[in-house]
Amino acid sequence: MKKLNIIFMLLIVPICTMAQERLTLDECLELAKSHNKRIEASNFQIESAKYEKRATLSNYFPTVALTGGSLYSTAEGTLGMEGGLLPVVGMDGLPTGAGAFFPGIDINYRVDWVYSAGVQFKQPIFMGGKIIAGHKMGKLGESIALQSHRLTESEVIFETAQAYANVVRASEMCKVATAYNGLLVELKRTVDKAFERGIKSHNDVLKVEVKLNESELNLRRAENALRLATMNLCHYIGYTLTTQIEVDNNIFIPHYNNANADISLRPEVQLLSQKSEFMRQKVNMAKGEILPEIGLIGQYGYINGAQLNGSKLFNDWNFAVGVQLSIPIFNLSSHAKYRSAQMQYRQSQAEESEKLELMTLEVTQAINNLDEAAYELHLAESGRQSATENLRVSSSQYTVGKESLTDYLEAQTLWLQSEQVFVDAKVNQYLRFLDYKKKSGLLN
C-alpha cells in the first residue's frame, strides 16, 4: 500500500505520551542515588562506624577524671603505751646495764567526716590484647560499612536501571502497537471503500473490524503499561508518581567479549572476608578477658579529715601513683565466651566458603544468560527483517489482488509479533548485562 512507508515512520516518533521532561539513564541513576533512603541510611552507618573507630583508638590513651567524695564514720579510740626505763644496748649488741626513760604514748583518734577531691588518670599498659583487637574491630567496622554502602548503591542502581529499561520496553511496545493500529486503520479505510464499490464482501469488513478492535485494546494496554512503568521509575528517582517524564529509548548494548567469572570485586566478597576477620578479632577480644591486665594509676588531690589528739590528721594536697595488676584466676563465664567466639569464627569461615561458591555459580549463570540473550536478539532481529519484508510483499500482492485479505492480516500479525519479540529481546539483553555487572561487582 502507498501509505505503508508513512505508517512505518510512526515507529521513530514518540506518539503515546506528551512528556514534559526527558531524562537519560545516567540522570535517572544520579537522581535515584541522591533521593534513595537506603543510601542515606548507609551514609549514616558509615559515619557511625567512623566514630566507633575513634572510640576504639582512644583506648590507647589515658583517661582523666575528677573525683570527689565524703565519708562519715563514728570510729574512734585510744592507742596508749605505758612509760618506763628501756634497756640501752652497746655497740657490741650487749646490754650496758644502763637505762633510758620512755614517757609513754597516749593517742586519741576519731574519724568523723573525711572529704577528698582530686584529678585521677588511668593509663592501660597491657589489657590482654583487648585494646589492639578492639581497634582492629573498629577499623573493620568502618570498612564493612563502606562495603555495605557499595552493596546498597549497586542494588539501587540495578533496580533503577531495571525500571528505566521497563519504561523503554513499554514505550517501544506502545510505538509498535500504534504503528500496527495505523496499518489496520488504513486497511479498514481501503476495505470500506472497496465494500462500497461492491469489490469486497461484508465479511472482509468484519474481519478487519475484529482485528482493529483487538489492536485498539492492545494499544490501550500498551499505554497503561507505559504509564505504570513511568510511575515506577518516578518512584525510584524521587519524583511524584504523576510527574510526566520521557526517557531516551536508545539503550546501550555493550560489547562483553571479556566476560569472566571473577567475583573478587563484588562487595559481598569483601563483606564476607571482613566479617570473618571481624570474628577473629572477637576471639582475641574474648581471650583478653582471661589474661592478666596491667595499668598505671595516678591521682593528685586534696583530703581533709580524721582527728588525732584533737588535731586534723589530713588537711593538704598530695600526689599518688601506682601500678594495678589484675590476674583472673577463676571465671567460667569468660572461658565460655572465649569458646563461643571461637565457634562463631569457624562458622563465619564455613559460611564464607559456601557463599563464595554460590556467587561463582551466580556469575557463571549470568554469563550464560548474557550469551543466550545475545543470540536471542540476533534471531529476533533476523525474524524482524523477514517479517517486515513479508509484510511489504504481502501489501503489494494484496493491492494488486494477488493475495487474500486473510493472508494480508496474517502478515500484519506476524510483523506485530516480530516487532514485539525484537523489543523484548533488546531490553532483555540489556537486563542480562545489568545482571552480569551486578554479579561480577562492576555495576557501580
C-alpha separations of 354 from 88, 116, 272, 313, 368 in Å? 89, 61, 11, 71, 22
Look at residues 285, 313, 436, 311 and name the one whose alpha carbon lies nearest to residue 372. Answer: 436
pLDDT digits 0-9 by tens, 358-384 = 999 999 999 999 999 999 999 999 999
Percent of the chain scoring above 70 in pLDDT:
88
pLDDT in the model for residue 427: 94
Query: What three-state secondary structure class fits 266?
Result: coil
* Measured distance CA(116)–CA(74) in Å, rounded: 18
- Segment 1-6 mean pLDDT: 43
- Per-residue confidence (pLDDT) for residue 394, from 0 to 100: 92
Is residue 334 very low, low, confident or very high in pLDDT (cuts 50, 70, 90)? Answer: confident
Give 18-49 pLDDT, tens digit per residue. Answer: 446 889 898 999 999 998 889 989 999 999 99
Task: Give the alpha-carbon dihedral of 269, 272, 275, 281, to 10 degrees.
Answer: -90
* pTM attached to this predicted model: 0.77
| Stretch 334-363: mean pLDDT | 92
How many Å apart are CA 338 and CA 279, to the nearest integer? Answer: 11
Contact predicate 123/321, CB 8 Å = no
Burial class for 411, CB neighbours closer than 10 Å (0-12, 13-18, 19+): buried
pLDDT higher than threshold 90 for residue 114: no
325 band by pLDDT with thresholds 50, 70 and 90 = confident
417: left (phi over 0), alpha (psi -120 to 50) or beta: alpha
For residue 220, is pLDDT > 60? yes
59-86 residue pLDDT tens: 888 889 998 888 888 877 777 766 666 6
* pLDDT tens readout for residues 162-179: 999 999 999 999 999 999
Residue 341: exposure state from Cβ atoms within 10 A (0-12, 13-18, ≥19): buried
At 20 the pLDDT is 63
Mean pLDDT score of the chain, rounded to an integer?
86
Residue with cell 576519731: 110
Range from 6-20, 152-166, 324-338, 374-388 carrying the lowest mean pLDDT: 6-20
What's the Cα-to-Cα distance from 137 to each of 268, 280, 349, rounded to whole Å?
18, 9, 17
What φ, ψ does residue 152 adopt, rounded to 5°?
-60, -45
pLDDT at 11: 44
pLDDT of res. 9: 41
Grid cell, residue 52, equals 566507633
Q: Reply yes or no on whether the pLDDT at 12 is more than 50.
A: no
What confidence category does residue 98 fall into, taking pLDDT thresholds of 50, 70 and 90? low
If you average pLDDT over residues 339-350, what whole number do you get?
Answer: 92
- Any bridge partners for residue 261, and if so which? none
CATH numbers and ranges of domains, the chain: 4-61+132-294+332-439 (1.20.1600.10)
Which set of grid coordinates corresponds to residue 117? 577531691
SS3 111: strand
